[in-house]
A and B are shown apart, each in its own frame.
Chain A
């Protein structure tokens, strides 16, 4: 259940950004979560609903964009994307020489404020 600390972290970032820029309320927070980040979207949404109460994000909606795990194989020189949360060999040629390019994201991307 570390989704609670993740939800707390993203709320702090959003509230901080909102206040610094002189806005009063947050309507929407968009986050990008990589599939290999270990975060369970449903748990994150639940934690967010609990933690936002009493803050300037009380009426905010959280939307989560899931980013799949993708990489580049240095043997077959091709990009690949997988369904799983990890890669142990290139899904195209089976080589183990590859680099992971996406899937570990845990970012607040943008928000709508008023």
Chain B
């Protein structure tokens, strides 16, 4: 017996993501899903962002990692609420993992919730979490071939943060090619050049975030 099904395989995830979005909207908190390959500087960007908004915007953080609590410990030192999710081998966060921790965060007291996804330039881009916006980082030393090698994340993100810009003199990276290819894949992509080490460009980034949150 042949049975026609025609159901999207990610439907279950998308349904939970929509529920998460409702919970976040009811608590009036803006949610950002931050993605990148490992070591691009997601946690460093969080540290810079939290320090910059200290006393102005109330931030909470969900840290996604395969194992360990190193990132959550770094964020906790800054005095903001943080939850660590360990995926135990999983290469991305999914909507259900987020749903399970929403009760553990003081959502109503927050203006901005930042979800730091598992370091991976591929899979996180495919799973909606219930966020308002996806943001990706690329550290410039990763190379200018990345947009065309990993197109999906560039297409799904609203902003691209080019981190470690202070390393520019020491690399052969073609920044213009990154810009050109990224914008070809996603003409609406907002691009920031920053260095989380020196603080260069952070102000432009946080000014933009401010316009989203308030």
A: residues with CB less than 8 A from B are: 1-2, 5-6, 9-10, 12-14, 17-18, 21, 23, 31, 36-38, 85-86, 88-89, 96, 106-114
* Cα separation A111 to B7 with both chains bound (whole Å): 12
The minimal Cβ–Cβ distance linking B127 to chain A, given in whole angstroms, is 8
B42 within 8 A of A: no
In the complex the two chains form, what is the Cα distance from A51 to B184 in whole Å? Answer: 39
* Chain A residues, CB < 8 A from B152: 36, 38, 86
Can you list 10 residue pairs at the A/B interface with Cβ under 8 Å? Answer: A2-B90, A2-B91, A2-B127, A6-B9, A13-B11, A23-B3, A38-B125, A86-B185, A89-B184, A112-B2
- B131 interfacial by beta-carbon distance below 8 Å: no
- Whether A38 touches B148, Cβ cut-off 8 Å, given contacts A1-B91, A9-B12, A13-B7, is no
Interface of A is mostly: mixed
- Pick the contact of B126 from A1, A2, A31, A109 — CB < 8 Å? A2
Tell me the dominant secondary structure on chain B's binding face: mixed
Name the B residues within 8 Å of A9 (CB-CB).
9-13
- Provide the bound-state CA to CA distance between A12 and B181, in Å: 38
| B123 located at the interface, meaning its Cβ lies under 8 Å from any Cβ of chain A in the complex | yes
A95: shortest Cβ distance to chain B, in Å?
Answer: 11
A14 touches B184 (CB 8 A): no
Contact check: which of B3, B126, B148, B187 meets A110 at CB < 8 Å?
B3
Instruction: Tell me whether A88 and B184 are in contact (CB under 8 A).
Output: yes
Report the tally of A-B residue pairs with Cβ distances under 8 A: 80
In the complex, A113 Cα to B5 Cα: how many Å?
Answer: 12
In the bound complex, CA of A59 to CA of B8 (Å): 23
Chain A residue nearest to B10 (CB atoms) is: A106
* Contact, CB under 8 Å: B5 / A12: no
**Chain B residues within 8 Å of A109, by CB:** 4-6
* 10 shortest interchain CB distances as A-B pairs: A86-B151, A88-B184, A2-B123, A9-B9, A108-B5, A106-B9, A10-B9, A110-B4, A13-B7, A108-B7
Residue of A nearest to B123 (CB): A2
B116 at interface by CB-CB < 8 Å: no
| Contact mask for chain B residues 1-40; partner A; CB cutoff 8 A; 1 contact, 0 none | 1111111111111000000000000000000000000000
* Shortest distance from the beta carbon of A23 to any chain B beta carbon, whole Å: 7
For the complex, give the distance between the alpha carbons of A9 and B152 in Å.
21
